[in-house]
Structures are given as structure tokens and as C-alpha cells.
């Protein structure tokens, strides 16, 4: 798709819905551009996706609540309370109140799990695998426990196109018994986000940016390509000049990619 086009959509529904958060941070915009670029190799794609997910997850988890917990804090020797031998003091801290789970949509959602676990290390991870057939989602894998024992589920998917896959997963999670669902994505189509809001107005969405165009084939433009392929390097791109300085290369990365897809 060689035509130069505007990157993001107009902020229409975004500004009028409190359940939708679209990042406007300049560093996020910079890193999303790196993620989009066809010259970004799989290892760099994985690294940038992890960075983006951490920052998006930080925003998404801001709606969690805390509860008071008792703890002890070490006191330096000079600060020992007079008349006692205590080198620790009691105080009240805070801990997350909700039980959280992460639900990566296979396979591209796997690239977002590690960053989210840095933020909520005690979260359970439940995988749901989906693929598209004639624009409709087909479930091929589901590892949800029989009993739902979580309060909040964070659904992870790098890109929202038609939103059919996400809508299917949201439906599965609601049937399972989750009362609060939060979708975390790097790029979403305006049409896809509108569909989620219409079908599930209670679902919260945190997204890095919103793209305007969605083709009749269900592709977001400009988007970022096939997130799963780019994340895991499929089909494999062999580069025998990977260790050479760009000025010494006989062919560019873009030409290399074309030769592997011919």
C-alpha cells in the first residue's frame, strides 16, 4: 500500500466516552511509528511492543483500587525508637484489592504478556486462541478455568481491526463470569472501537492510537501489518548481511522482505 495517508482518526467517540483512553504521549507516538515501519525486524518489533505495552498497561491499571495492609518497615540504627530495641516499625500500606487476570489473544497477544506481568506480577494468565475465517472469528484454543475467580480481565491484542475477534473474546469472558473487562491494544480502527462501544459499552479500552481506514477485507490502514508474523518472524526472513553496516549492504531490508514474499 504505497499511498501516503493520514495516520490517525479524528477524536470523535474518543473524547465523548470515559471508558476509552487514547494515548497522546509523544514518546508513544514515536514508538508506534517504529512498530509500524516495515524495516523493523522481529527482535526490534518484540522489544518495542513490550515497551508500548508497559506504558499502556500502566494507564490501564490506573482504575484498579487498593486495600490497607499491615506491614513492618526497617528502621536505621540511628532511628531506633528510644527505650526499645526495635529495628522495625509497624505501619499501614496498600495492596491491590482486585484479583486480576491477563487474557492474551493468540498468537500476537503473547507479545504483550511479559510487560503486563511486570505491572501485576500476581495476575493469572489465561490464553484464548482465535483465527479468522471469512472475516469471522473461530476459536481454536481456550484455557479458562471452569470457575471464574477474578475481578478484572485485561484482554491483550496489539491491533483491533473489525473487532470481531475481540467481541467474541469479550462474550466468552462475560459468559465465564468476569464483571470487569479492560482491553489493551496498541492500534485500533475507529470502526472497530465503535463496534465494541456499541456492543459492550461497559468494556474499558486503552489504546495507543486510532487509525481511520478499515478495508472491506478487514485490514487496518496504515496499521502495522500482520502482528503475529512480525512478532515471531514468520515467514522466516533470512539475512546474510545482518552484521554489515547499511552502507555496505547489497540490498535493503525492504528488498529482502520482497524477495521472501515473492
pLDDT value of residue 131 = 83
Burial of 122 (0-12, 13-18, 19+ CB in 10 A): exposed
Q: Between 14 and 64, where is the model more confident?
A: 64
User: Average pLDDT in the 76-101 region?
Assistant: 79
Rounded Cα distance between 35 and 223, Å, is: 9
pLDDT value of residue 260 = 40
Q: Is the pLDDT of residue 31 over 70?
A: yes
pLDDT value of residue 236 = 57
Helix (H, G, I), strand (E, B) or coil at 181: strand
pLDDT value of residue 5 = 41
Q: Between 124 and 261, where is the model more confident?
A: 124
Q: Is the pLDDT of residue 107 over 50?
A: yes
pLDDT value of residue 189 = 93
Predicted confidence (pLDDT) per residue in 196-255, tens digit: 999 999 999 999 999 998 888 888 999 998 898 898 888 755 566 667 776 777 655 445
Mean pLDDT, the chain, rounded, equals 85
Q: At what angle do helices 26-36 and 42-60 cross, to 10 degrees?
A: 150
User: Average pLDDT in the 27-53 region?
Assistant: 94
List, in order, residues 6 or more apart from 181 with CB less than 8 Å away.
152, 153, 155, 170, 173, 174, 200, 202, 203, 204
Q: Between 81 and 186, where is the model more confident?
A: 186
Rounded Cα distance between 130 and 139, Å, is: 4
Rounded Cα distance between 125 and 56, Å, is: 18
Alpha-helix residue ranges (DSSP H) falling in the chain: 13-16, 26-36, 42-60, 113-119, 164-176, 190-199, 227-232, 253-261
pLDDT value of residue 14 = 57
pLDDT value of residue 132 = 80
Q: Between 254 and 2, where is the model more confident?
A: 254
Rounded Cα distance between 61 and 79, Å, is: 36
Q: How many CB atoms lie within 10 A of CB 52?
A: 26
In the block, which residue shows the cell 526490534?
44
Q: Is the pLDDT of residue 256 over 50?
A: no
Rounded Cα distance between 123 and 145, Å, is: 14
Cell of 233: 518472524
Burial of 67 (0-12, 13-18, 19+ CB in 10 A): exposed
Amino acid at each position: 500500500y504505497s499511498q501516503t495517508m493520514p495516520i490517525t482518526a479524528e477524536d470523535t467517540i474518543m473524547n465523548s466516552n470515559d471508558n476509552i483512553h487514547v494515548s497522546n504521549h509523544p514518546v508513544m507516538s514515536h514508538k508506534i511509528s517504529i512498530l509500524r515501519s516495515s524495516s523493523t525486524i522481529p527482535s526490534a518489533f518484540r522489544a518495542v511492543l513490550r515497551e508500548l505495552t508497559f506504558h499502556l498497561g500502566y494507564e490501564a491499571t490506573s482504575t484498579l483500587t487498593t486495600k490497607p495492609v499491615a506491614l513492618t518497615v526497617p528502621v536505621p540504627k540511628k532511628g531506633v525508637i528510644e527505650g526499645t530495641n526495635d529495628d522495625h516499625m509497624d505501619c499501614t500500606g496498600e495492596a491491590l484489592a482486585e484479583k486480576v487476570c491477563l487474557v492474551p489473544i493468540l498468537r500476537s497477544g503473547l507479545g504483550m504478556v511479559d510487560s503486563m506481568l511486570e505491572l501485576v506480577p500476581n495476575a493469572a494468565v489465561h490464553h484464548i486462541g482465535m483465527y479468522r475465517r471469512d472475516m469471522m472469528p473461530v476459536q481454536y484454543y481456550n484455557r479458562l478455568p471452569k470457575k471464574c475467580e477474578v475481578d478484572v480481565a485485561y484482554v491483550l491484542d496489539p491491533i483491533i481491526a473489525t473487532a470481531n475477534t475481540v467481541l467474541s473474546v469479550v462474550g466468552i469472558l462475560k459468559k465465564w463470569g468476569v464483571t470487569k473487562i479492560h482491553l489493551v491494544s496498541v492500534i485500533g480502527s475507529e470502526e472497530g472501537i465503535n463496534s465494541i462501544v456499541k456492543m459492550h459499552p461497559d468494556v474499558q479500552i486503552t489504546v495507543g492510537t486510532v487509525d481511520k481506514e478499515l478495508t472491506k477485507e478487514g485490514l487496518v490502514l496504515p496499521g502495522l501489518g500482520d502482528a503475529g508474523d512480525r512478532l515471531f518472524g514468520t515467514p522466516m526472513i533470512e539475512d546474510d548481511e545482518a552484521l554489515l553496516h547499511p552502507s555496505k549492504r547489497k540490498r535493503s531490508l525492504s528488498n529482502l522482505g520482497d524477495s521472501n514474499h515473492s
